[in-house]
């Protein structure tokens, strides 16, 4: 039997966090969970809901076996909002930016930031508050901004 884990709101909807289920494929497991509780089936089908099999995010269908761990993850909040990225060559206070970003919002569970030098050019230090962007894109964007 595969070990099934539900995280966040999914476990609230289901009324359980962990259990073992027999199912040959991920698609069959989703159908099984939805048949047991329609609200859970709906929650698993929303855009952004993900599943990790043995700690690897998978897309599409996949076979399951007795040793499989299937962890269902709810969509991450905030994805529907516009993202703000600030690039600067001027000194800044990361703590002040983080405080501004969180703005007293209770739903902020964790914030990951990057502050440092990225592919430094002679005499230029780049600092950035990073949110959901590949770091390789930062130097390219900074060079474009410097030319303007």
Span 3-11, average pLDDT: 93
CA–CA separation, 51 vs 5, rounded Å? Answer: 10
| Number of domains composing the chain | 2
What is the β-pairing status of strands 86-88 and 69-73? unpaired
Same domain, 26 and 65: yes
Q: Is the dihedral of CA 56, 58, 62, 66 positive or negative?
A: positive
Picking from 45, 73, 101, the residue at the C-terminal end of a domain is 73
Considering the entire predicted model, what is its pTM? Answer: 0.54
Picking from 28, 47, 73, the residue at the C-terminal end of a domain is 73
Same domain, 15 and 59: yes
Q: What CATH number is associated with residue 26?
A: 3.10.20.30
Same domain, 143 and 99: yes
Same domain, 106 and 127: yes
Span 25-36, average pLDDT: 96
The verdict on residue 79 lying in a domain is no
CA–CA separation, 96 vs 123, rounded Å? Answer: 25
**What is the span of the domain harbouring residue 112?**
86-147
The predicted-structure confidence for 46-95, as pLDDT tens digits, reads as follows: 888 999 999 888 889 999 999 999 999 988 765 445 455 666 667 878 78
Picking from 21, 44, 73, the residue at the C-terminal end of a domain is 73
């Amino acid at each position: 039997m595969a070990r099934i884990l539900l995280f966040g709101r999914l476990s609230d909807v289901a009324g359980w966090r962990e259990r073992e289920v027999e199912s040959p494929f991920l698609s069959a497991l989703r159908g099984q969970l939805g048949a047991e509780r329609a609200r859970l089936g709906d929650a698993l089908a929303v855009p952004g809901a993900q599943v990790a099999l043995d700690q690897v995010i998978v897309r599409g269908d996949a076979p399951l076996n007795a040793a499989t761990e299937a962890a269902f993850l709810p969509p991450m909040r905030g994805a529907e909002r516009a993202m703000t990225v600030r690039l600067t060559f001027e000194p800044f206070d990361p703590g002040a930016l983080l405080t501004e970003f969180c703005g007293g919002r209770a739903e902020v569970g964790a914030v990951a930031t990057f502050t440092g030098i990225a592919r430094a050019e002679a005499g230029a230090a780049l600092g950035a508050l990073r949110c959901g962007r590949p770091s390789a894109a930062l130097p390219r964007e900074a060079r474009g901004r410097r030319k303007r």
